[in-house]
Amino acid sequence: MARVHEGMALHGMAVFAHDQTAGKGQRGKTWVTEPGANIVLSIVADTLPIRHLPPFALSAAAALAAYALFTDHAVHETSIKWPNDIYWRDRKAGGILIENIYRGHEWQWAVIGIGINVNQTTFPEGIRPPVSLHQITGRAFDAVQLAGDLCNYLEAEWQSLITEGPIQLFERYQRHLFQVDQLVRLKKDNIVFETRVKGVDTQGRLMTGENGEILFSVGQVEWVL
């Protein structure tokens, strides 16, 4: 992010962290990772070719890239939990945080932060522990090599977004959506309620209700598992 503001960033620049001491997640949460065990990656994107698209298109592209990498090894029961978490069964395996830079009203840059649990086997105590590729497969992986594979997947999604537009990307995103057509529990303003997930629209809003008529923007509601 500092390189972007200093004018020293290049499109596609990827920075891998072997150790991260101040990881950020969605909704002000922290992302905790064991040193050297996982993918902790930040990628810079010059948004000029996709500036006419809703920013959620980039979020969906990043989620699909992370999903593709994870399913290369975990194969079954992987999904994308809105807006862009990677889940295996009902446990979180990865998360994405995109920080956008605007000049005036113009979207200029995005820094795509991706964290994926690769070799870690112990996590801070919580109601529902995360899960890693090592726990699922019993294998150890080279996290740096997997980060390179992830960059290749993201580049493919980026090129597809530019050449084909967002329609096919959104269709693929919907196919892999976590708990689609199921009753789920969401929390809004400290009130927990039950609703049915029907999909996500092109603006990135979660469509719920029996006919998808109730919409929630990112940050408005929290999934209760």
- Average the pLDDT over 182-211 and give the result: 95
CA–CA separation, 25 and 32 (whole Å): 9
Tokens of 56: 């959620």
- Residue from 16, 44, 196 nearest 115 by CA: 16
Q: Is pLDDT above 90 for 197? A: yes
Per-residue model confidence (pLDDT) at position 29: 66
**Sorting pLDDT into bands at 50, 70 and 90, what band is 32?**
confident
> What's the number of CA atoms in the CB half-sphere (13 Å) around residue 164?
14
CATH number, span 2-175: 3.30.930.10
Q: Is pLDDT above 60 for 27? A: no
CA–CA separation, 200 and 57 (whole Å): 11
Helix (H, G, I), strand (E, B) or coil at 178: coil
Going along the chain, which residue ranges are E strands? 14-16, 39-46, 78-81, 85-88, 91-103, 106-116, 183-188, 191-200, 206-208, 214-216, 222-224
Per-residue model confidence (pLDDT) at position 125: 81
Q: Is pLDDT above 90 for 34? A: no
Count of CB atoms within 10 A of residue 215's CB?
14
CA–CA separation, 15 and 201 (whole Å): 31
Per-residue model confidence (pLDDT) at position 126: 75
End-to-end CA distance of the chain: 33
151 — phi, psi (to 5°)? -60, -40
Question: How do residues 92-116 score in pLDDT, each as one tens digit?
Answer: 999 999 999 999 989 999 999 999 9
Percent of the chain exceeding pLDDT 70 equals 95
Question: How do residues 58-70 score in pLDDT, each as one tens digit?
Answer: 999 999 999 999 9
